[in-house]
């Protein structure tokens, strides 16, 4: 799937929250090179759209937390996908399967070459 995104066969969407999550370890390690790499990778490009954490996303996330009993960061990711009408939500976290109308595909269950 990631190769398809790189080749332009698929378009990907992520929340800006992904950057904060990805930067934790490089910040702990004071790894400026890795921090720069993540900042460059998790930015708008031809095949990746990074969605801001807007008021609308937060309202949807609150509703998801109330109905699906998931943590706020997960609710923000799910809300972002739902509001952007994503056809597939990639994760290795089975808890996302409890979110109504979220088309979850577990990476651990996909066929890899």
Query: pLDDT of 10-66, one tens digit each?
Result: 899 999 999 999 999 999 999 999 999 999 989 998 889 999 999 999 999 999 999
pTM: 0.86
| Upper half-sphere CA count for residue 34 (Cβ side, 13 Å) | 10
Please report which residue ranges of 1-113 form alpha helices under DSSP H.
2-7, 17-28, 32-41, 55-68, 72-83
pLDDT in tens, 100-112: 899 999 988 766 5
Domains of the chain: 2-109 (3.40.50.1010)
């Amino acid at each position: 799937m990631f190769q398809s995104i790189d080749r332009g066969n698929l378009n990907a969407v992520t929340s800006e929250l992904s950057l904060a999550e990805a930067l934790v370890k490089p910040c702990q390690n004071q790894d400026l090179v890795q921090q720069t790499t993540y900042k460059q990778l998790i930015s708008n490009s031809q095949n990746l759209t990074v969605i801001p954490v807007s008021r609308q996303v937060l309202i949807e996330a609150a509703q998801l937390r109330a109905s699906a009993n998931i943590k706020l960061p997960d609710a923000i990711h799910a809300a972002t996908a739902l509001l952007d009408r994503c056809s597939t939500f990639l994760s290795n976290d089975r808890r996302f399967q409890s979110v109504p109308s979220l088309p979850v595909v577990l990476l651990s269950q996909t066929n890899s070459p």
